[in-house]
Amino acid sequence: MDIIFYHPSFNNNDWIRALRQALPQANIRAWTPGDNAHADYALVWHPPVEMLKGRQLKAVFALGAGVDSILSQLHAHPEMLPESIPLFRLEDTGMGLQMQEYAVSQVLHWFRRFDDYQALKQQAKWQPLEEYEREDFTIGVLGAGVLGTKVAESLRQWGFPLRSWSRSRKNIPGVTSFAGGEELPAFLHGTRVLINLLPNTPETTGIINRALLNQLADNSYVINLARGVHVVEGDLLAALESGKLKGAMLDVFSREPLPSDNPLWAHPRVAMTPHMAATTRRSEAVAFIAQAIQRIERGEAVSGRVDRARGY
Ligand SMILES: NC(=O)C1=CN([C@@H]2O[C@H](COP(=O)(O)OP(=O)(O)OC[C@H]3O[C@@H](n4cnc5c(N)ncnc54)[C@H](O)[C@@H]3O)[C@@H](O)[C@H]2O)C=CC1
Ligand SMILES: O=C(O)C(=O)CO
């Protein structure tokens, strides 16, 4: 079995060593331009078109959870990967825990008013503030998939009212499920902290816009952990100015790195991280991919297949 590997920034040697340990029967190599030799499987992130084009692969594995970039590449170059070749993505592989850490720490930061205390500290003011009530701190998770479910579950132990929004109804204990466009207004009504973990698809691009933000509770908060294009930045800034939003924590941006003249940098109530909410963890990802390849070789079903028509 031949496997080719391409990632623009990972350390190839470390990955190939780990893959060889997990799949000792396979010939695994880093793909370089001009390599047209046989391959059964390709493991990729932002692959050049020529790497995949014309190959008779058994499957392609994306080395991340979100497949919007490879799907937009496929849209522009359908010859790169025929629909008959399955494309898989990473499911959790350590990203769930990282998303939990991120979301829980930020929700607690706002709930305990550390943002307000930081502002008071800058004015050298000693001033205990009124405490927030848990029941006024409803948390809504947009996207109740692998990562959204993990995040909702981690917030349960803190006693906040929890709800999720997804395409189909979910059954996550302690989390009220809202499904489909017709239930989005009910999901937003009363939501105080909105956490976005939707995939980027034609249906979800720009979803966090003025109309959506206006339906949240006053003095609410947004955490964007998914993709920058989900948020209409001008509408977010306007909602911060109007008082509809009290704060935003953003990990992803429509342009990355975020240009230095973007007003989000200077906004006192916007906190940011450079797309690091959850990174691909080598050992978990290699274990996931190795198990999936073994299952494919045995003719068994494998989860994580991307539905190219649906866009995720
Ligand atoms: N900031 C970061 O470091 C990272 C960001 N991500 C982002 O997180 C996203 C989510 O990842 P997973 O949870 O693994 O995806 P997933 O595919 O397991 O979950 C997607 C969820 O969104 C819902 N959804 C999709 N389209 C919808 C629509 N039109 N209406 C209502 N609900 C809809 C689905 O029903 C599902 O519940 C990824 O696509 C990626 O963009 C992932 C990893 C790291
Ligand atoms: O896996 C993903 O989709 C990512 O965004 C990794 O940062």
- Report the catalytic residues: 227, 275
pLDDT for 55-91, tens place per residue?
A: 999 999 999 999 999 999 999 999 999 999 999 999 9
- Note whether ipTM > 0.90 here: yes
Residue of 198, 280, 284, 306 with the most ligand 2 atoms within 8 Å of its CB, for mutation? 280
Residue of 178, 197, 250, 306 with the most ligand 1 atoms within 8 Å of its CB, for mutation? 197
- Mean pLDDT, residues 174-197 taken together: 98
With bands split at pLDDT 50, 70 and 90, how would you rate the model's confidence at 293? very high
How remote is the CA of residue 38 from the centroid of ligand 1, in Å? 33
- Mean pLDDT, residues 156-175 taken together: 98
How remote is the CA of residue 1 from the centroid of ligand 1, in Å? 32
pLDDT for 8-67, tens place per residue?
A: 999 999 999 999 999 999 999 999 999 999 999 999 999 999 999 999 999 999 999 999
Is 166 touching ligand 1 by the criterion CB < 6 Å? yes
pLDDT the model gives residue 189: 98
Q: How far apart are CA 100 and CA 278, in angstroms?
A: 9
Which atom of ligand 2 is nearest to 67's Cα? 3
- Which protein residue's CA is at the shortest distance from atom 5 of ligand 2? 66
- Mean pLDDT, residues 276-298 taken together: 98
Q: Taking the model in full, what pTM does it have?
A: 0.98
Which atom of ligand 2 is nearest to 63's Cα? 1
User: Percentage of the chain surpassing pLDDT 90?
Assistant: 100
Angle at 249 between CA 170 and CA 275, to 5 degrees: 85
How remote is the CA of residue 225 from the centroid of ligand 1, in Å? 10
With bands split at pLDDT 50, 70 and 90, how would you rate the model's confidence at 239? very high
How remote is the CA of residue 41 from the centroid of ligand 1, in Å? 25
Which atom of ligand 1 is nearest to 227's Cα? 41
Given the structure tokens 């396979």, which residue do they identify? 26
Angle at 157 between CA 154 and CA 159, to 5 degrees: 115
Task: Give residues with Cβ within 8 angstroms of 161, minimum separation 6.
Answer: 134, 135, 137, 138, 139, 176
pLDDT the model gives residue 71: 97
